[in-house]
């Protein structure tokens, strides 16, 4: 039975009682329960559980069991949930255990650094974020540093540790963790996001004097298959699967194309494109697949050809991109990849409202960027395999087995973590620094400079709330509450407080308090 100290109970009671409650309202409860929440999935390892039982009861683990554990570990697989941060799918966050602390990280196939908010930053920069504190098993890599910048001028820098990192049950026991000592304001203001996990090629890692391996490269040899598969979703949580291909997540065949990794990215050549029900136009071009970029950036002739089929669409100089009436039915868009036609539904291409009547397109020009980028607007319609099982890396493309039922105006389901109000795209052109092309976190090019923060009064905020709002990053949830506001306006419930106290009292009494 658990025991409860007087101080602990007083603290718990004090937390529960935000306003006076009459003593007669407190009632002893005979039963209580807590709901468990699953944060990741991984393949069950029977031998590991046997070994765990031996160790728990102080029995030496037989060599045959240790051998079985090692054999099972050599075929590791795991899956982690990727949740949209806001209602426009500007970026997706995944729970990652770094040195014993769970952080919410943006997985980015367009960069190769695993960097995190850390205890070495100023207290003001840490506010609202889950923070990496080097664990007792961490080793500082003396003389090593890192410095990364993004196309909007945002960036971060710091020093380097080797520490344990766990993603969906897949463990890297000595992973390079880049602990931030300073970050730009756009990162600190995005309190949902605690850093970034790069999944490009390790050759573009920014650690000096020697580049470090990405998480994927660190664990690749222990995976059942040397690959990871990405299933991003519109307006709902998707997954990153490591070491296996999940046939339930796609339809038809996977079309594979070779990857050009010479620049450190998952580069490929598309055979052509199609608009709506039209036939494929055989105009090949090179691009990269980047989960850290929100929109799709393509050659001008392709972009112009698409919007020529959109009624009333025009290039808006102030928005640095194509806009159209929000009520417009957009045509689908397809890429020919490995001889197969892969399609994003037209409603996915309606990214965000510019004003009350006009919306911003999810396909824009790559001319000022210097490379074409297939970002989340397209990727969230696909099951994409990032494959290193062959001598030449390759990308696999298949249509997802189901699509989101989200409406075409860019509004996501209630499962998204971010703000519920849409914001107009930034007026300046969202251009990334070509190396690295990482773009997905911090309010830069990945989100097209958009990290909406406004919420209706009394509405709970999942990050990016108004200045001065409190934040509990452990769950990614924060409640905005202005000074002097009533309990109801901040989401506080007197009934809930009473229930919390009753449950705490019952637990204490059950423990012999």
Catalytic residues: 108, 290
CA distance 338 to 359: 32
CB contact at 8 A, 166 and 102: no
Element holding 496 (H helix, E strand): helix 494-510
Cα–Cα distance for residue pair 49/490, rounded to 1 Å: 44
Q: Count how many Cα atoms sit within 13 Å of the Cα of residue 322 in the half-sphere of its side chain.
A: 29
Q: Say what the alpha-carbon torsion angle 87, 425, 334, 242 is, to the nearest 10 degrees.
A: -50
Which residue shows structure tokens 């729970």? 95
- Rounded to whole angstroms, the Cα distance separating 242 from 247 reads 14
Interaxial angle between packed helices 46-56 and 63-73, expressed in degrees from 0 to 180 and rounded to the nearest 10: 140
d(CA 258, CA 262): 12
Angle at 244 between CA 238 and CA 248, to 5 degrees: 55
- Helix ranges (DSSP H) in 185-260: 185-189, 215-219
Helices 494-510, 6-16: crossing angle, 10 deg rounding: 160
Q: Which residue has the tokens 């960097």?
A: 115
| Phi, psi of 221, rounded to the nearest 5 degrees | -70, -20
């Amino acid at each position: 039975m658990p025991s409860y100290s007087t101080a602990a109970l007083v603290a718990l009671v004090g937390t529960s009682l935000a306003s006076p409650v009459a003593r007669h309202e407190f009632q002893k409860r005979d039963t209580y329960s807590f709901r468990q929440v699953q944060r990741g999935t991984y393949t069950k390892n029977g031998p590991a559980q046997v070994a765990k039982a031996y160790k728990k009861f102080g029995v030496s683990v037989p060599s045959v069991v240790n051998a079985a554990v090692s054999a099972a570990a050599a075929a590791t697989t795991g899956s982690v949930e990727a949740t949209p941060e806001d209602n426009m799918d500007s970026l997706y966050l995944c729970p990652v255990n770094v040195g014993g602390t769970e952080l919410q990280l943006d997985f980015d196939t367009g960069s190769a650094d695993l960097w995190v908010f850390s205890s070495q930053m100023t207290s003001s920069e840490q506010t609202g974020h889950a923070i990496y504190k080097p664990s007792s098993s961490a080793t500082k890599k003396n003389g090593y540093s890192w410095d990364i910048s993004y196309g909007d001028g945002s960036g971060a820098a710091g020093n380097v540790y080797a520490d344990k990192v766990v993603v969906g049950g897949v463990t890297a026991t000595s992973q390079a963790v880049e602990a931030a000592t300073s970050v730009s304001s756009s990162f600190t203001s995005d309190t949902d996001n605690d850093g970034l996990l790069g999944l490009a090629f390790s050759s573009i890692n920014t650690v000096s004097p020697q580049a470090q391996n990405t998480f994927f490269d660190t664990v690749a040899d222990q995976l059942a298959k040397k690959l990871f598969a990405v299933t991003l979703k519109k307006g709902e949580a998707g997954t990153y699967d490591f070491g296996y291909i999940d046939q339930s997540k796609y339809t038809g065949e996977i079309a594979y194309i070779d990857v050009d990794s010479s620049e450190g990215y998952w580069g490929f050549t598309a055979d052509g494109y199609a608009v709506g029900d039209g036939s494929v136009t055989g105009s090949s071009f090179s691009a990269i697949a980047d989960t850290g970029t929100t929109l799709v950036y393509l050659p001008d002739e392709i972009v112009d050809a698409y919007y020529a089929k959109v009624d009333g669409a025009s290039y808006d100089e102030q928005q640095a991109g194509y806009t159209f009436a929000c009520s417009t039915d957009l045509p689908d868009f397809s890429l020919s990849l490995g001889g197969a036609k892969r399609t994003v539904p037209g409603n996915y291409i309606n990214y965000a409202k510019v004003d009350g009547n006009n919306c911003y397109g999810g396909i824009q020009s790559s001319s000022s960027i210097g490379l074409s980028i297939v970002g989340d607007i397209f990727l969230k319609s696909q099951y994409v395999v990032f494959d290193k099982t062959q001598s030449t890396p390759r990308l696999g493309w298949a249509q997802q087995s189901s699509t989101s039922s989200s409406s075409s105006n860019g509004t996501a389901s209630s499962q998204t973590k971010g703000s519920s109000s849409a914001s107009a795209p930034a007026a300046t052109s969202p251009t990334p620094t070509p190396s690295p092309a990482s773009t997905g976190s911090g309010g830069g090019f990945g989100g097209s400079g958009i990290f909406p923060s406004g919420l209706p009064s009394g509405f709970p905020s999942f990050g990016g709330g108004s200045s001065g709002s409190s934040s509990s990053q452990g769950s990614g949830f924060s409640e905005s509450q202005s000074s002097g506001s009533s309990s109801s306006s901040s989401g506080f419930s007197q009934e809930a407080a009473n229930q919390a106290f009753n449950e705490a009292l019952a637990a204490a009494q059950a423990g012999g308090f």
